[in-house]
Structure 1
Amino acid sequence: MGRLGETDLADRLSPSGRHTLLVQVVFALLVTGLTVALRAVIDSISPAAGPFSLGFAAILVATLFGRWQAGVITGVLTLVYSWYFVLPAQNSFLLKNAEDTGRLILAAINYAAVLVIAELFRRAVRRATAERDREIAERDLFLEEFDHRVKNNFTLVAALLDMQRRRAKDAETAEALSSALTRVESIARAHRHLYRGAAVSRGEADMATYLEELCAALAEALFLRGAITLDCVCDHAAIPRDRAVSIGLIVNELVTNAAKHAFAGRETGRIEVRFEAAAPGWKLVVRDDGVGMPDIPKARGKDGGLGQKLIDGFVRQARGTAKTESGLDGTAVTVVLEA
């Protein structure tokens, strides 16, 4: 019901306010015309039944959509019409029955009451709408400021990690810092894509757009050009953004691991990321045609062990299960996600 009071034809059809009265008069005439037409249909079935009943609805509609001026015009016109054409004697302002005078006065009073109530309701809704719009504007401003601060924080953390990586003299330390830098940059990309713009209002992300942008950024960051390629094939699917972040981080870890370890001693290769609908939900596959995984697991505490723990954690956050298949023709990790 509140939506009715938000529609103001005078504002919509005359934003400048120069033709507000004209809009109200035309709208009042339109409402009155429809009321007269409906009155004619009723008179063909039951002549003179409820002579003033349609006026209440007409005044209500005219006031809600055209303000009190349109309601006054509609009320006067419908009252005069009912007096002249419906009350006996018809086609005359003379009242045949003495009680019709009281009915006419009572109808006028009730018309005025309906008009006042409708106008008060319309104004209350307009005030509530204005307050809501103000709060939304303040929220958007806060989110914009928050987004800017988060973006700056990500940039600062990435810069510090990169600085430490460049100063590290130990190769293992430098590699660990490089991996941490890549993960921070992946989370920053997720934030930029999923927590800004239209995605905020919906609370969901289109996985095709998100993963394609993520793969393009990974290809650039990992220098996957020419001989080693990264292909991304994704179905469009609306996924809650928190789950989408976890899925993106899974892709980041798997692609990074493949780029670093799958093509040892080779100059050519292909990594494929595929996201598609599959009962009961979706399926994510990251596949490479590299040398396969070694039979001996990596020792705990190494980067590989940390990477696997991160992948397992991200899979749980995404509400999925992971399966790894590896051989001489490469490695494929399949993550089945619940609906």
Structure 2
Amino acid sequence: MSWERRLGELDLPDRFAPAIPRPVTMIGVALACTILAFAARWLVDQVLPAAGPFALTVPFVLAASLFARAFAGVLTQTFCALYAWYFVLPASGSFAFAVPSDGPRVVVNVLAGFAVVALAEVFRSAVRRAVAERDDALERRDLYLHEFDHRVKNNFAMVASLLDVQRRQFAEDDPAHEALSVAAGRVDLIARAHESLYRGDGLPTLVDMRDCLGELCGTLSHSLNLPGGVNIACQAETAWLPRDRAIAIGLIVNELATNAAKHAFAGRDSGRVDIAFHRRKGGYCLIVEDDGVGMASKEGEPPLSRHGGLGQRLIDAFAMQARGKLTRDTDGPGTRFVFELDGAEEKE
């Protein structure tokens, strides 16, 4: 929240209550504003003695009314008017009027000061009502989002349960068993990306990639039944991306990491899959690499041959949805996939 908004919504009696009773706060603010008005009057008198005897009261009356309610404004106006009447108007040090026209002047200036208090209270009350309505709307929105989130999570859980029931009907070495496991993983990823939208820690259409990828890696580590020596590690920078792009990136990571865990460490009890997401000039870079057996590059071999069939088509589709470019590097040990994205639509 900007300082202008915080200042506009400041209500000192409420701010200090219940530690300090509201009437005490209003009286204290009135006294403080009165003292400041006296000090301003003294400074002006050093240069322009007795100039505008009531003019300097207006800013302090307005401040007291806006920040400590009408009662503080009335007190400030009363104290300042009496001071100007007694010490500034001729004759100084007396409530007598040296000039007969000073009487009507005092009455008009005092009434004008109270009018300032009344107008300030009108605007202050309008701001308080607007703030209350805004807070009520936000509370109702959070309630609706919570209910919506609960219902959608139940739907995702139902789909995942149905897939799991179907998966259990096949032997572990059956291709259908693996296909249903992969499908369940995709549903789980979409569910987690959806869940991150309604936590109240960001804009409702953006996803923090650091949290999203971190949770994804944790889920993959537990769901892929990896050998004890095979680890999945994730290092991701905070970046807020639109939901659709975030889900597409997560699905790419899901496909690549799942494939590496299943095929890169054949005959080995140890290995590592590293997932990194960081900023680069003009956008972001996603890297998924492993230290496994690698993917031999043969003449005419498709770029993602280890992901043949549906997996490769899905990766291509997800890359297109995320509006990025996916390349593969097999020069060193293991396999390294680099996915480059532009930085458009990032939250500032």
1:235–1:275 Cα contact (<8 Å) kept: yes
1:64–1:119 Cα contact (<8 Å) kept: yes
SS across alignment from 2:69:
helix
CA shift for structure 1 position 202: 6.8
Residue 178 of structure 2 is aligned to residue 183 of structure 1: no
Listed as ranges, the matches of 1:303-318 within 5 Å are: 304-318=308-322
1:293–1:327 Cα contact (<8 Å) kept: no
CA shift for structure 1 position 92: 1.4
Distance 2:181 2:5 in 1: 56
Q: Which residue of 2 aligns with 1:89?
A: 91
Change (3 A) 1:14 1:267: closer
Q: Runs of 5+ in structure 2 lacking a partner?
A: 344-348
Q: Runs of 5+ in structure 1 lacking a partner?
A: none
1:292–1:330 Cα contact (<8 Å) kept: yes
1:140-197 CA-partner distances (Å, limit 9, x unpaired): 00000011111111110000011111124792222221211111112122223x2232
Number of equivalenced pairs: 335
1:224–1:230 Cα contact (<8 Å) kept: no
CA shift for structure 1 position 315: 2.1
SS across alignment from 2:96:
coil
AA at the equivalent of 1:141: L
CA shift for structure 1 position 94: 1.3
1:281–1:336 Cα contact (<8 Å) kept: yes
CA shift for structure 1 position 280: 2.0
CA shift for structure 1 position 238: 4.0
Listed as ranges, the matches of 1:28-177 within 5 Å are: 28-168=30-170, 171-177=174-180
Listed as ranges, the matches of 1:246-261 within 5 Å are: 246-261=248-263
CA shift for structure 1 position 204: 4.4
1:59–1:115 Cα contact (<8 Å) kept: yes
Distance 1:281 1:213 in 2: 22
Distance 2:93 2:313 in 1: 90
CA shift for structure 1 position 233: 2.5
Distance 1:114 1:31 in 2: 15
AA at the equivalent of 2:15: R
Q: Which residue of 1 aligns with 2:223?
A: 221
Distance 1:158 1:269 in 2: 29
Distance 2:6 2:337 in 1: 50
AA at the equivalent of 1:189: R
1:72–1:115 Cα contact (<8 Å) kept: yes
Distance 1:164 1:32 in 2: 78
Distance 1:71 1:249 in 2: 61
2:193–2:243 Cα contact (<8 Å) kept: no
Q: Which residue of 1 aligns with 2:346?
A: none
1:123-151 CA-partner distances (Å, limit 9, x unpaired): 11111111111111110000000111111
Distance 1:307 1:124 in 2: 59
Distance 2:323 2:276 in 1: 18
1:322–1:333 Cα contact (<8 Å) kept: yes
CA shift for structure 1 position 22: 1.4
Structure number with higher helix proportion:
1
Distance 1:30 1:126 in 2: 23
1:59-116 CA-partner distances (Å, limit 9, x unpaired): 1111111111111100100111111111111121111122211211110121121111
2:230–2:271 Cα contact (<8 Å) kept: yes
Q: Which residue of 2 aligns with 1:212?
A: 214
* Stretch of structure 1 that moved more, 91-100 or 257-266: 257-266
- TM-score, structure 1 length as denominator? 0.90
AA at the equivalent of 2:178: E
Change (3 A) 1:96 1:230: same
CA shift for structure 1 position 210: 3.0
1:203–1:241 Cα contact (<8 Å) kept: yes
Calculate percent identity across the aligned residue pairs: 47
CA shift for structure 1 position 14: 1.9
CA shift for structure 1 position 257: 1.2
CA shift for structure 1 position 242: 4.0
Change (3 A) 1:62 1:137: same
* Stretch of structure 1 that moved more, 52-61 or 161-170: 161-170
